[in-house]
Structure 1
């Protein structure tokens, strides 16, 4: 996934990534997938009882072969796209705009599912250590998601150096579980035993297990998307990091599958497979809790990588006019807050809908990822055919093999997981692509209406009437009229007079006459105590009957209070009037916000 935005040109060289830092910053979601990838295989094979679990290792080896092909393929992507080679960028350059939109849609789905799966898997590791929390797993998932979202909305970015420690602890802990477990003749704590077989081992069962286990391959492309963040020589360091990731992930997957077969571990709804293996290998002691807390920490950080990637992707889509331009705006803390908010809401819906169950989300996780993998590999084949540099044939062959394998894996996943929600991924991709196209068409029409490709004539002054709604004679009214007098040739103040409150109307007229601001006050009667209807009717009447004004402007004065809780006390009339005038008239709207300093 596109986990890191390319570094800006002014970034100092020593602030860029080394190989260990690159592994820690860009490989968290891939490394953390060992917490749920092997379990997804076991969950499928357990339907065939103990005999089915014996096939854990062969299925895992097939996945590791695919991992090797992807690793070497993305090593070539790094060399070909030193400025970042995400599927969206590769497809946009070599396969056309629509294919790039499919890649972007699949990436967005991948980001959302990565957050949901990582959070739920992290909470599962926590409840494995403390079973009494199992009943509250959904609440804990929501709390963790809110915490991660809060950090990202306020721009608390993680440092690559700070990520090295939890990454090293997790990797060392997993290898300790593997090595110690392989040296034991019997488990220290008996894991959950396989139940009776409900179906025989067959091709379909093995394909389903393979499709589920492919969720462990998510994130292997993140390094290729962030080559500019590495120290010089960037390409070489990024390639070494990619190879190191493939080697570490492959070794952990094979090691855990050996332990699963050795200890005959079966799924347990209240305890993860990794927790069972830790119990069997290291015992239920301090080491067990270290492994579980390391898993929780790494999965939380893995979820955080999506918050660095998806907002950047949506900002690129917005700059290409495929999403609303608001997604390209950064807040004061250099955060794409709209992208962060959309990601958080989407992940929240999935977590609540799945009741915090990781294995309910994993079946559809890998489909979106492999769509992006396939598009990227096909784009690379086209890249080599166009470039035709030294050795381009074998490079194209390597990416071609990767494209065939990932396409085959996508088809397998779709067939095996279609009834478990796989169809939803394709539906979501189609809906997102249609959304992108619709937004693009809308911006194109807006551009034609604004004649953005033409040089307009010189600006000309126009006679303007400025209408200022007022409710009292005070400092806000004075500031509003002062601004209006500098904007138009003629200024009129209007005030709504309610039929059941003649006393207030007379008092307003008297105060206005005594103040004598050189601006006429027009009373607008209202029988229903409606604020907006009399003003809208007046603006329509002026526009229809007074042709000497070329532009009609409505200046809406408002106070801006210093504290958020004080703003809750305001009546929001300005916003209501803005909406009504915008909807029912062609008047130009100007909202004047007067900063009010309250003593004490």
Structure 2
């Protein structure tokens, strides 16, 4: 039943040989891996105005365009830098791969932790922003913000579990619709003003300037607007998801991403400046601009709102595409559980997708689907990973000095400097608003990953065989020592006994007695089997059956010679209905979990199926 439902929800399993057909082309890779960066512009302008308007009032719009220009300049630096990352690291991983390769294990893990936190926040922020766009158009849905957001995350999760190709088509179309509608809004707004001479009117009454412009104010506004750059690293992280030639296709997508972010972010900021748009409760800046350009209640207004909501939701798909891939690389290196490196039935890293669903849902519930509460947590990790990536590339060029390394080192060096400065600005300006949470989570996550790696190293050291391994092999194989616990003589015991007899003749049937009458009946039934094997009975006055049996195993184990083994054969009956297990003691399962911890003891479980 479960398998049938799984097939209906996420589709039929895909063969490993079909993996190439599941990868992105440029057309479908662009919307999936750029949706985060493109969607960020829909609230980045609003975040800048939330800082400027309360202080500068009507005078906010001149510095708005200057801040937008600085952010666009930083975008160009990042794009040039990440083109070089794509060229040097075709296997993906982005900041994690670059930092690990050039700066060392810990910087690489810091980058990985920063990216992981960023991806979880991307899902939470994007879906909450999508919900905000929905509630702006339909205010009656405001009380259900959390429920709507969780439902959107669930849809994204199910879509991504269906595989890369299906999710790219499913989530790519809304991204293109947003691009066309928002560019149409920008073009229409500019034409109305510069061609038809319309005089823009402020959407809301703005207060007069209360204070002078200060460097701290501009830096705080700049740090808020830098959310427009989140997601730029996604293309370099997801190179393996592109069809061949993967690097060339990734570079094309990165260039198109930069062009779209430049046009849309600059256009939205310019229209906001013309129409003197300010932050309003429950109404987004894009909603206000669309209502001024197209008119409230028009088809185009609702188109912009609908596509904005969709792109904000689709932005989370960037995280669903990249975090599972990052986790697979970390799993390969032994820093997270191995299960994150396994592909699911649809060739997606389904365990990483499910983890992202759970963590982002928790964030949404904790922060009550409030975008502005989540934004301060958002950009710190992004720019920290930017900085480590650029610094790693700088060191690579200086160390290897291959080709035209000097101008490449200048690009990455300048990128490292600018992103480091931006990271410090964001951390300081947003610290009290919640950035401190991320600054605690990053080192904690790094420590946790190092702990996991330490565990895997211990397991490897215990299992590894030295060059001279001949002393591990038993020179003169002896007959197997077999212990067969018995609680009652029945068909399950007889099946286990028959199997034990195939292993050897040194079989000891062992019974722990807690009731003399039952033990006497057991002795009679065992005698009726006509066996040559001894029945060893040991009293347990405190009814501690398992402890008594384990003590006996330890005693027998101590008698073994070097490399000899004791085999414990455990009868276990299997019940068709799972809930029936609550009606039984499950002694065999508890014994097995204890016995597997003993080095020279082999445990064999013999199932006996109970028919109903």
* Structure 1 position 445 matched with structure 2 position 433: no
The question of whether the paired residues in 2 share the 8 Å contact of 1:47 and 1:199 is answered with: no
- The residue number in structure 2 matching 1:576 is 590
For the pair 1:126 / 2:139, whether they are aligned, the reply is no
- State the shift of 1:39 in Å: 2.3
Distance 1:515 1:194 in 2: 97
Correspondence for 2:492 among 463, 469, 476? 476
Quote the residue 1:204 is aligned against: 216
Secondary structure of 2:481's aligned partner? strand
The residue number in structure 1 matching 2:369 is 356
Give the match's secondary structure for 1:144: helix
Distance across 2 between alignment mates of 1:34 and 1:105: 25
Deviation at 1:42, TM superposition (A): 2.3
Match of 1:3 in 2: none
1:536 pairs with 2:550: yes
**Structure 2: how far apart are the matches of 1:79 and 1:278?**
40
For residue 291 of structure 1, report the CA deviation from its aligned partner: 2.8
Superposition deviation, residue 415 in structure 1: 1.2
Give 1:287's aligned residue. Answer: 300
Contact in 1 for aligned 2:164/2:348 (Cα 8 Å)? no
Q: What's 1:39 paired with?
A: 46
Deviations 1:31-56 (A, max 9, x none): 22223322222222233252364232
Partner of 1:485: 501
Aligned to 2:430, the other structure's residue is in SS state helix
Q: CA deviation at 1:311?
A: 2.4
Aligned length in residues:
588
Equivalent positions of 1:187-586 (< 5 A) are 191=203, 193-194=205-206, 201-231=213-243, 233-282=245-294, 283-452=296-465, 454-457=467-470, 459-460=473-474, 461=477, 464-487=480-503, 490-495=506-511, 497-499=513-515, 505=519, 507-516=521-530, 520-523=534-537, 525=539, 532-543=546-557, 550-560=564-574, 572-582=586-596
User: 1:540–1:372: structure 2 CA closer, same or farther, 3 Å change rule?
Assistant: same
User: More deviation in 190-199 or 404-413?
Assistant: 190-199
- How far apart, in 2, do the equivalents of 1:266 and 1:539 lie? 76
Q: CA deviation at 1:253?
A: 0.8
What is the TM-score with the length of structure 1 in the denominator? 0.86
Q: 1:546 to 1:393 in 2, by over 3 A?
A: closer
SS in 2 for 1:538: helix
Per the alignment, do residues 446 and 390 of structure 1 end up closer, same or farther by CA in structure 2, a change over 3 Å counting? closer
How many Å separate the matches in 2 of 1:154 and 1:557? 41
Separation in structure 2 between the aligned mates of residue 151 and residue 577 of structure 1, nearest angstrom: 42
Between the aligned partners of 1:335 and 1:356, the Cα distance in structure 2 is 28
In the alignment, the residues of structure 2 paired with residue 312 and residue 252 of structure 1 have an alpha-carbon distance, to the nearest angstrom, of: 29
C-alpha separation in 2, matches of 1:46 and 1:574 = 70
Contact 1:78 1:85 in 2 (8 A): no
1:137-190 Cα deviation digits (max 9, x unpaired): 1223233334434555575763534444222101112122222334264779x8
Separation of aligned partners in 2, 1:14 and 1:388? 37
User: Mind listing any 5+ residue stretches in structure 2 that lack a counterpart?
Assistant: 1-14
Measured against aligned partners, the alpha-carbon deviations of 1:359-409 in whole angstroms (never above 9, x if no partner) come to 111112111111111111122222323443443222221121111111111
Q: Structure 1 pair 435/230, CA: closer, same or farther in 2 (3 Å)?
A: closer
Q: How does 1:53-64 map to 2 (within 5 A)?
A: 53-54=60-61, 55-64=63-72
Kept after mapping to 1: 8 A contact 2:234/2:322: no
- 2:39 pairs with 1:23: no
Contact 2:114 2:382 in 1 (8 A): yes
In 1, are the aligned partners of 2:58 and 2:208 still within 8 Å (CA)? no
Structure 2 residue 117 is the aligned partner of structure 1 residue 104: no
CA distance 1:291–1:530, change in 2 (3 Å): farther
Higher mean C-alpha displacement, 15-24 vs 135-144: 15-24
Q: Evaluate the alpha carbon distance shift between residue 41 and residue 565 of structure 1 in structure 2; reply closer, same or farther with a 3 A threshold.
A: farther
* Cα distance in 1 for residues equivalent to 2:130 and 2:119: 16
Alignment correspondent of 2:179: 171
User: 2: distance between equivalents of 1:358 and 1:133?
Assistant: 16
8 Å CA contact retained: 1:181, 1:187: no
Q: How far, CA to CA, are the matches of 1:223 and 1:255 in structure 2?
A: 24
Within 2, Cα distance between the matches of 1:52 and 1:510? Answer: 100
1:544 to partner: Cα distance: 5.2
RMSD between aligned alpha carbons?
3.5
Q: CA deviation at 1:239?
A: 2.2
* Structure 1 residue 63: Cα displacement: 0.8
Once the 2 structures are TM-superposed, how far is the Cα of residue 197 of structure 1 from its aligned partner? 7.2
> Structure 1 residues 330, 228: closer, same or farther in 2, change over 3 A?
closer
Q: Distance in 2 between matches of 1:152 and 1:15?
A: 12
Alpha-carbon shift at residue 473 of structure 1 (Å): 4.3
Shift of residue 413, structure 1, vs aligned partner: 0.8
TM-score calculated relative to the size of structure 2:
0.84
Q: CA deviation at 1:507?
A: 4.8
Q: Distance in 2 between matches of 1:146 and 1:393?
A: 47
Query: Does 524-533 or 342-351 show the bigger shift?
Result: 524-533
Classify 1:309/1:236 alpha carbon distance in 2 versus 1 (closer, same or farther; 3 Å): closer
Greater alpha carbon shift after TM alignment, 506-515 vs 285-294: 506-515
SS at match of 1:32: helix
